[in-house]
Structure 1
Amino acid sequence: MNTSNWEEIFNAIPLPCLLIKPLHDGSFMIEKANNSYMELTGTTAEDLLGKKSEEAFPRNPEGPQHGNDLLQKTLVEVMQKGKKINIDSFRFDIPVRGTNRFEERYWSNQNIPLKNASGEVEYILHTVQDITRQWNMEKREKELQTEIDINRQQYRNFIRENPDGLYRLDLQGNFLHANEGLAKLAELPLEKILKMDFLPFCAPHHKEQILEKFQRATQGETLSFEADFISANGTPLILKILLMPMTIDGKVTEVHGIAKDISGLRESEKIVMEKSRFLEVNAAFISSLLENELEDKALFDTFEIIAKTVEADRMYYFGADKHPETGEILISQKVEWCSEDTSIQLDNPDMQDMPIKK
């Protein structure tokens, strides 16, 4: 430590350094601080020199204290063992000059014992490196990786639990991947589906149309269409298909698809249309009955057939008659059919002799 130009060398070192002197009371005093250290921490010689470490390094009252405690513990350990101790990463906030705020910072440091001729630790050379940016980058990478892992799990859950058929096809139409939703539609285990292409599931009368849509998807076109398919057990299906080309570097490499079973929907629509047509036909039939003045029994039987077909609880017919004295047109219920759970209103006086304007 008696080298004549050691202070000049110490100040010229680009690595931020402190020269710390152990005191007899167990504390540590800052003897020297080089320019690199003061520039890095925004401090001056007046802030540091001749001050004990706990005074020179104030604690952030709003931050964790383990960084300050770790530094003190490390200095004591170096003093006691006489060996170099490194701290790879720890948080140690520093005050922002001119304010009451602290800046969150992360560091790595080395604490090197400098011994006298008697082998006692006379000084500790404390070098630091600011790793705040690196620490923040690693933290962000961990956060991003966590987000990626969560998204992957959500994606897997979406595929696994989706009731629709989700699948991937190569450019020849072979299945690369499929979910349980598709296996349920196909009525075939996944392991067998993944050894097949999609053509065996196409209804013969729609196979050419489906193949043409797939070929367009392999050329980069996104398509949505409905077609008839057949499961492995022969169950007819009406599926709404969405085909989406997947590209890498502008080239289609796969086709992803979603198959939604709309058989029930189309069957319901068919029933509604059939019932609507049935009502139209029977309305014309009833009109014909009325025009030909058929008896009430014929109307009652006709009403029963229609009501049961459309699942109605009541059907009735109102007739119009002139009042014998005033000549006013009055409407009265003439014929009524009711289900077993519905009360008959044929004898209800409120349903008889009603003026048209009522």
Structure 2
Amino acid sequence: MSLPEEEYLTKIVSAIALTLNEDLTIRYVNQYGLKKLASVDSSLVGKSVNQMGRKPISERSIEEIDAEHWEQIFNAIPMPVFVKDRQHRWVFFNDALCNLQHKTRAELQNKNDYDFFPKAQADRFRQEEETLFLTGKEVFSEEFSLRNGTDSYVLIKKTRIKISDGQEYLLGCCIDITKRKQAELALIESERRFRSLIRHSPDIIAIVGKDHLIRYITPSFYRLFELSENDIIGTSILAILHERDKDNYFETINKVVGPKSEGIKVELRLRRSNGQYAILESFIKDLSFDPAINGIVMNCSDVTMVRAQSEEIERINKLLDADNNYLKNQLKNEIDARIDLKPLDFNEFKELYPDDAACLKYLAQLKWENGYRCKKCRQEKFGAGKIEYSRRCSKCGYVETATSGTVFHRIKIPILEGFYMFFLLRSNPDITARELSICTSVKENTCWLFKKKINALLNKNKGMQKNWEAQMLIPITSKKQ
């Protein structure tokens, strides 16, 4: 090589460099070492390090160091190092550069950037290096390249050097920062994603100091309240807080202060620019112990519309309840009128009471409308009995059915037919047992007995119990049906 190897090392290694033989005698010392070590000069080459400062026992010139030795020195440098000539060719480099480029020495020797990089990138390198040769100003840059199909990032420092014969070379040192750059890009992408989410989120995040001054607030606040950053940052949250919510706010802040607090959810009303108040469902937590936050964090959701809708739904429900009560009363009045004026068809009746369960449920509601009390011990607590819609006393265990103590007490026919015959007899006491049997498919003799007892009840209480529901609850003392 036309460029002496020791001049490479002198330019690259900007520190004290000593090369020792196996017997610990000094084989080489660079120029920086000669300047900085007062006890060391070129006459010490060949001496043991333990003899530094003593009388030299041998001398050896730098020119005697062979090329193989210098190659070992360069290859010991962990970072990629290269030297380019004036034609921008790699004329000298270490193994670390080969590993970075994933190339052999033969593939790199005397090659240039155009042999390995895209033309646009190689053009930029060429222009950059030409400027360096002309001005002598060092270049420190971060380069991206595609090596073996994968992204690679390298930090490069390029310096112009002149040797004793006047020739100029470009000395470059590289650091592979691919992993660091990938982590940096991942962090930038994560921050970009986070900022985008914060920017477009409808929820509000605010950081308030213990002095109640607003230090930070997300953009959604400005959209909702139609205020600017100058209007709100540095001002007290108390200035826009509803007067009736201030006590609740202070109470909440006092509870959440401290690193062990889990946070508290509270509703606060804040004033908009137009004077109206927005209802914010807020989760407040103290993060003043975190240096990155150093304040109380409020995560807020605007529930103004939800609360308005809830109030509207509640108002509508009240109207619906009133309408339902009115319709129920109208239906009851209609049923009462129809029962009093004319008999119902059995199919029409079944639309009102479709099965036995519906009849028992309705009878139980009438019977215990004003509360339950055991007939045996007068206890008011109860549980469900084994029979449908029956009740079992929690104290004495007495079971009372829905039909017990009513006109249907110990009835032997299905309760649905019993209900229907009761309505028919109430509206038409003269209906015959045969007609009752045809209407209900109950035996004529059973219909005759039931008619007899119902008519006796109605005649006995005539003028006293006009309501058919009340009449259903009057017990029949006779044991026969």
Q: TM-score, normalized by length of structure 1?
A: 0.51
1:265 paired residue number: 309
Counterpart AA for 2:140: D
1:265–1:75 Cα change, 3 Å: closer
Deviation at 1:245, TM superposition (A): 0.8
In the alignment, which residue of structure 2 is the partner of 1:88?
140
Does residue 1:65 correspond to 2:119, yes or no? yes
Alignment partners' CA distance in 1, 2:186 and 2:164: 45
Alpha carbons 1:171, 1:255 under 8 Å: kept: no
CA shift for structure 1 position 89: 3.5
Q: 2:265 aligns with which of 201, 218, 224?
A: 224
Q: Is 2:256 the partner of 1:241? A: no
Pairing 1:1-358 to 2, within 5 Å after superposition: 4-5=63-64, 7-8=66-67, 10-11=70-71, 14=74, 16-18=81-83, 20=85, 30=91, 33=92, 37-42=94-99, 52-54=110-112, 59-60=115-116, 63-66=117-120, 68-69=122-123, 86-89=138-141, 91=143, 104=152, 106=154, 107-114=156-163, 116=165, 121=167, 124-133=168-177, 137=180, 140-141=183-184, 144-145=187-188, 147-148=190-191, 151-152=194-195, 154-158=197-201, 162=202, 167-171=206-210, 173=212, 175-176=214-215, 179-180=221-222, 183=225, 190-191=231-232, 194-197=235-238, 201-203=242-244, 209=248, 211-219=250-258, 220-226=261-267, 239=279, 241-249=281-289, 253-258=295-300, 259-261=302-304, 262-290=306-334, 293=337, 329=347
Q: Give the AA of the match of 1:243.
A: F
Are the equivalent residues in 2 in contact too, given 1:246–1:254 (CA < 8 A)?
yes
Report the CA distance between 1:268 and its aligned residue.
1.9
Aligned residues: 268
8 Å contact from structure 1 (residues 217, 243) kept in 2: no
- In structure 2, relative to structure 1, the CA distance for the partners of 1:276 and 1:172 (3 Å cut) is farther
Q: Mind listing any 5+ residue stretches in structure 1 that lack a counterpart?
A: 295-319, 332-358
Kindly tell me: are residues 112 and 273 of structure 1, through their superposed partners in 2, closer, same or farther at Cα, counting changes over 3 Å? same
Q: TM-score scaled to structure 2, two decimals?
A: 0.40
Contact 2:225 2:272 in 1 (8 A): no
Cα deviation, residue 269, structure 1: 2.7
- Once residues 103 and 245 of structure 1 are traced to their aligned partners in structure 2, the CA distance between those partners, rounded to angstroms, is 43
Quick one: which amino acid aligns to residue 263 of structure 2?
A: T
- Measured after TM superposition, the shift of residue 284 of structure 1 is 3.8
Deviation at 1:286, TM superposition (A): 0.9
The Cα of 1:130 is off from its aligned counterpart by: 1.8
Native 8 Å contact 2:208 2:295 kept in 1:
no
Task: Decide whether the 8 Å contact of 2:286 with 2:296 is kept in 1.
Answer: yes
Aligned-residue Cα RMSD (Å) equals 5.4
* Matched letter for residue 144 of structure 1: L
Deviation at 1:247, TM superposition (A): 1.2
Structure showing greater relative contact order (alpha-carbon pairs closer than 8 Å, 6 or more residues apart): 1
Deviation at 1:274, TM superposition (A): 0.4
Pair 237,321 (structure 1): closer, same or farther in 2 beyond 3 Å: farther
User: Partner of 1:221: helix, strand, or coil?
Assistant: coil
Q: Deviations over 1:159-212 (max 9, x none)?
A: xxx4x665443335555556236647x9xx955993451796143xx7655543
Instruction: Give the SS at the match of 2:323.
Output: helix
Distance in 2, matches of 1:279 and 1:84, equals 94
Within 2, Cα distance between the matches of 1:269 and 1:257? 27
How far apart are the structure 1 equivalents of 2:284 and 2:118?
52
SS at the partner of 1:4? Answer: helix
Shift in alpha-carbon separation, 1:11–1:129, aligned structure 2, 3 A: same
C-alpha deviation, 1:90, in angstroms:
6.8
The amino acid of 1:245's aligned partner reads K
Q: Which has the higher helix share?
A: 2
Aligned counterparts of 2:222 and 2:246: Cα–Cα separation in 1: 24
CA distance in 2, matches of 1:216, 1:196: 18
Question: In the aligned structure 1, how far is the partner of 2:274 from the partner of 2:143?
Answer: 67
Q: CA deviation at 1:278?
A: 0.3
Return the offset for 1:132. 2.2
Say which SS state the counterpart of residue 115 (structure 2) adopts: coil
- Structure 2 residue ranges without an equivalent (≥5): 5-61, 350-481
Tell whether the 8 Å contact from 2:89 to 2:111 is kept in structure 1 after alignment: yes
Instruction: Check the 8 A contact 2:132/2:139 in 1, yes or no.
Output: no
Contact (CA 8 Å) 1:169, 1:177: kept in 2 or not?
Answer: yes
Render the CA deviation track for 1:112-137: whole Å, top value 9, x for unaligned: 34464xx6x4xx5443312222x663
